[in-house]
């Protein structure tokens, strides 16, 4: 599946699973899911021309900008609510997350980043760095792995073991991807709007 599909599907599944009740929780789910849904593809080679790195960066920047805009509009401190303070553990989590991201960017596509080990380590790093983002990040990252299981190329879910798993049903950018994106985009938007109305 493409980055756009992973992004929309991950956000939608996270809002559906976590049902945030406050404005801060909504932005936490949006931020965690936006990053978690696409981070596994940080290992995409630049020559692939898919723009996955740009999607990851744009998702992180847009959710951060939205949280700052919401802070300004509501007079609340949503950023503080999401991060819940900063201490040594938070900085260690952030350092671990950045280190794992760098390591992932240097690995072959569909290796460590597309494994349960990668999912667990990244989700653990998010838990240390920003606990309120953990659930959405983990759900969206997991949705990325689940969607890629339908791809014809295998994934090493049990990395570092070399065995690859795949249902071999679809191509990464084929008709199924376009259909899923067409369903995920409005679905995610509806779930976000519903959550924002519920939190008001």
Q: Is the dihedral of CA 116, 119, 122, 126 positive or negative?
A: negative
SS3 content of the chain, % helix, strand, coil (to 5): 75, 0, 25
| pTM score of the predicted model | 0.82
Tens digit of pLDDT for each residue in 148-168? 998 888 889 999 898 988 888
Q: What is the pLDDT of residue 49?
A: 44
For the chain, the C-alpha Rg in angstroms (whole number) is: 16
Q: What is the pLDDT of residue 47?
A: 42
**Omega within 30 of 0 (cis) for the link into 148:** no
| Domain ranges across the chain | 3-199
Tens digit of pLDDT for each residue in 40-71? 988 876 545 445 555 555 555 566 666 666 66
Which residue, chain included where needed, has tokens 């609340």?
Answer: 76
Query: Binning pLDDT at 50, 70 and 90, where does residue 77 land?
Result: low
Which residue, chain included where needed, has tokens 């280190």?
Answer: 99
Which H or E run contains 77?
none
> Does the pLDDT value for residue 85 go beyond 60?
no
Cα separation, 38 vs 185, whole angstroms: 15
């Amino acid at each position: 599946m493409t980055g756009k599909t992973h992004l929309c599907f991950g956000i939608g599944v996270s809002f559906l699973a976590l049902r945030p009740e406050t404005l801060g929780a909504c932005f936490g789910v949006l931020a965690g899911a936006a990053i978690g849904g696409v981070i596994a593809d940080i290992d995409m080679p630049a020559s692939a021309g898919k723009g996955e790195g740009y999607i990851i960066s744009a998702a992180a920047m847009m959710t951060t900008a939205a949280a700052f805009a919401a802070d300004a509009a509501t007079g609340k401190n949503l950023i503080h609510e999401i991060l819940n303070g900063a201490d040594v553990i938070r900085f260690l989590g952030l350092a671990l997350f950045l280190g794992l991201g760098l390591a992932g960017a240097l690995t072959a596509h569909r290796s460590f980043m597309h494994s349960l080990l990668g999912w667990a380590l990244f989700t653990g790093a998010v838990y240390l760095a920003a606990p309120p983002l953990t659930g959405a990040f983990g759900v969206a990252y997991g949705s990325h792995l689940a969607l890629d299981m339908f791809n014809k190329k295998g994934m090493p879910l049990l990395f570092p073991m070399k065995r690859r798993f795949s249902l071999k049903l679809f191509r990464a950018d084929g008709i199924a991807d376009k259909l899923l994106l067409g369903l995920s985009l409005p679905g995610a938007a509806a779930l976000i709007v519903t959550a924002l109305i519920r939190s008001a």
